[in-house]
Structure 1
Amino acid sequence: MLFALPSEYYAFAKQAVSWQAYRDELLLQKHNGTALLFGAPVLTEHKNQLHIIAGRTHAKNLIQEGKLNAQLDWLDDEFAIDKSQNIIVCPYFDYRQLSNIKIARLSELVAQLRII
């Protein structure tokens, strides 16, 4: 998904020759600025942080359990956004749920926030 972001705003695609190379050499490495976390996001006042919650049901459960205080604007059955807190809800990160078309849509939503 990071590799699909517009390169005029994000340098991820400029750092490797392919998304596979980016994944293998850079993604989730120390000092890369990316992390894969499980559980509720820790929201801070830092506006340069983006939180992507994978899974509509997971996001709704976090809100119902009081672990996430967000005002999600549901764009459709799969995507939601809270621009004030830089939160995006998308399908689970699995090729069966997050197809290339949906990755492109997620990239567009991230680009709208212009953070990272």
Structure 2
Amino acid sequence: MSTSPSEYYDEERWSNWLDRLRDEDIDPEDEESARLLLNLQDDTAIAIVKIVADYDEGELGEDPALEELATVRDIVLSEVDFDDEEKLMLIDGVQTSLVCVFYAAEEYIAAGPPEEGTVEEYIRAAA
């Protein structure tokens, strides 16, 4: 069953994650803190995968799928207002790691799956 476009990701979902981070004592060395940041990243990646899956299954056309990705990207990669510089740096790390996920999803939708090739060929092409 497909997700309606308004359910892929929204400002409230992102804000809820940011509120959790504001309320937590974040220590990158702590397993719980690391898990919270990883869950934040995974939550966004899963939303992106749902968009790509709906595109793949024909439930979203190319333009609507790219628009949904742009909406999620605008929400997640927007500037975050935190007083705590360390938390701000950690969120920036999460945002930076998601840039390649957005790019790969957009490229897949716009250009289709990659041609047959070896891992070495894909690495050379990416470089």
Structure of higher CA gyration radius: 2
- TM-score normalised by L of structure 1: 0.27
Task: Specify which structure has the higher proportion of helix.
Answer: 2
Greater percentage in strand? 1
